[in-house]
Structure 1
Amino acid sequence: MSDEFAVLGDCVARERRSDRPALRHPPSGRAYDWRRFCTTAWKVGNYLRNEGVREGAVVGVAAERVPEPVLTLVGASMLGATVQFDPPKTGAQGDLKALVVPTARVGEYDHPAGTRYVAYGDDPADPSHAYFEREVWSENPTAPPDVVHPETALLAVEDRSLSHGTVLGAAREVAGEWGLDADATVAVRGPLTHPGVVAAGVVAPLLAGGEILLPDAEAAGDCAVLGPDPDGAPEPRTVAAGDVLG
């Protein structure tokens, strides 16, 4: 695990591309190796950039444990944008620059025209809503050129924001405690709305060059991050989200 990574986008640097597993979602059968994961995260960043997402913008993302929210987190982070998981259903002009949610849930949200709706899953019937899969597939597979700093906000959580440096610092502590390396698989068993889940379940394995597991009832990792009120898990090593970033 490298201590040189200062911001989340450093984890998907070009030299990290390989055929090793990076992200797995057993319920859908989808899996990304590090080559595809990096390239797709770059494409997501470039697409959001074309929609006007820049440093200081907020991107709302559904807190579903599927690949699209994870890829959006990394892609948006490369622009210096702040990600808010499960944002409010209604908002004012300027609250969200983009909203990335499943097509089936688009109707739950009422944000003004300045918010770009991006739906994933089924192709949205409303032509004003972008289709995540189509837009990302057609994008340039190169890393966005934006420069992001450790003090830049990465996550918006309730009434506070957490910087890249804060989240990566917490993730590095977890990765060190667990001894994560490129062979490790970390299961995400808590809600992405909690920053501790993001730090331990998403960022820690990315720092280590390992694999993020978005599990079903049958799949298990080497270790797992649980919610703030943890239930049991099949993994031999677990951490509660509140113990990472309370």
Structure 2
Amino acid sequence: MSSVDTRQRQRGVFGSVLPTPAMDAAVLGDLLARDKRRSQPAVVVPAADREMSYHDFITTAYKSGNVLRYLGLSADARLAVDPALRPEPLLAFLGAAQLGAVTTFDSTAEARVRLVSVDDEAAHTERGGRLAVFGGSPEATTTTHWEQEVWSENPAFPPTEVDPESTALVAGDQQYSHRRLLKMAERVVEELSLTKGSRLAIRTPLSRPETIGGGLVAALAAGATAVFITDAATAVDADAALVDDAALVDDEQSTPEPRRLAIGTLLD
């Protein structure tokens, strides 16, 4: 596994056993167990022509965590990520979560490590923290080439204890703990009847925390496939959809999936 055993990780700071939310997971790293690796697609991004199986996605999440550790990310430190619709930002988020670190999808925020598109390297070279880029080789020798480092990393992640109440995601002034994101995921799984093999179209931006908790985390918790799409109307192979509130206002402009849930309903 990417972390210590589930019972150990459910223990809070005072040693009491905490209840498990979505799918017996206490923290996000529990969704990345080795025995969950299989050939079924975990993430599909049609706009980037990218698809990753559960085997490749989980293994690369382990590698991403190791790269972030090498770059200096640790528990409670912050990772700032470009919310580009590609697998790399998603994997970086999960890599940080395994470390007990905090992610923000605001690439300009103060952070110890920053991951952005190679096209935006120059705009971030003067910001604080270590800089890594995806999508190509960097110009500066001090900038890390994300894909190259991930490819060469160890395909396993050492046991790391993470508190379920620790913050995993920050959006504006809102903080989202592992537990809060898993509860959000659990609600989506139940309301959209997601099961192993389902395909969830996620038609909301990565900058929204509900996209992470109700989209990516929900799909992983159910063993479903997360299909990230940029708009509300383009047809994709999916059974259900997570959509922006406006997409449900007019049935004629609604998404093609038979089961839909607006992210506004996930706010608490």
- TM-score above 0.5: yes
Mapped to 2, the partners of 1:155 and 1:199 lie a distance apart of 9
Question: Equivalents in 1 of 2:71, 2:228: separation in Å?
Answer: 28
Q: Percent identity at matched positions?
A: 34
Q: Work out the CA distance in 2 between the residues paired with 1:212 and 1:3.
A: 17
Q: Quick check: 1:81 aligned with 2:123?
A: no
- Give the match for residue 183 of structure 1: 197
1:109 aligns with 2:124: yes
Q: Distance in 2 between matches of 1:194 and 1:28?
A: 20
Q: Is the 8 A contact 2:78 2:112 kept in 1?
A: yes
Per the alignment, residue 62 of structure 2 pairs with 42
1: CA distance, partners of 2:112 / 2:121: 15
One-letter identity of the residue aligned with 2:104: Q
Aligned equivalent of 2:164: 150
1:195-230 CA-to-partner distances (Å, cap 9, x unmatched) read: 112111111000011111123644242111123544
Over 3 Å counting, the alpha-carbon distance change for 1:106 and 1:230 in structure 2 is: farther
Q: Which moved more, 1:236-245 or 1:63-72?
A: 236-245
What is the CA deviation profile of residues 23-77 of structure 1, one whole-angstrom value per residue up to 9, with x for unaligned ones?
1122232211111111000000011011111111110011112111111111110
Return closer, same or farther for 1:110/1:227 CA change in 2, 3 Å cut-off: farther
Secondary structure of the 1:38 match is: helix
Q: Does residue 1:126 correspond to 2:177, yes or no? A: no
Contact 1:195 1:241 in 2 (8 A): no
| Partner AA of 2:123 in structure 1 | E
User: What corresponds to 2:5 in structure 1?
Assistant: none
Q: Structure 1 counterpart of 2:240, which letter?
A: C
Partner of residue 141, structure 1: 155
- 1:202 — aligned with what? 216
Amino acid at match of 1:234: P
RMSD (Å), alpha carbons: 1.8
* SS of residue paired to 2:155: coil
For residues 19-30 of structure 1, the aligned pairs below 5 Å read: 19-30=39-50
Q: Which runs of 5+ in 1 are unaligned?
A: none
TM-score by length of 2: 0.84
CA distance in 2, matches of 1:215, 1:189: 5
- In 2, distance between residues paired with 1:158 and 1:72? 19
Q: Paired residue for 1:238, among 260, 264, 267?
A: 260
SS in 1 for 2:104: strand
TM-score (norm 1): 0.91
Secondary structure of the corresponding residue to residue 6 of structure 1: coil
Contact 1:185 1:212 in 2 (8 A): yes
Change beyond 3 A, Cα 1:80–1:111 = farther
For 1:97 and 1:227, how far apart are their aligned partners in 2? 31
- The Cα of 1:111 is off from its aligned counterpart by 4.8
The structure with more radius of gyration: 2
Following the alignment from structure 1 to structure 2, what is the Cα–Cα distance between the partners of residues 150 and 204? 17
**One-letter code aligned to 2:96:** A
Q: Which residue number corresponds to residue 54 of structure 1?
A: 74
Q: CA deviation at 1:110?
A: 5.5
1:227 and 2:241 equivalent? no
Number of matched pairs: 240
Mapped partners of 2:245, 2:123: distance in 1:
26
CA distance in 2, matches of 1:123, 1:110: 14
- TM superposition shift of 1:144: 3.4
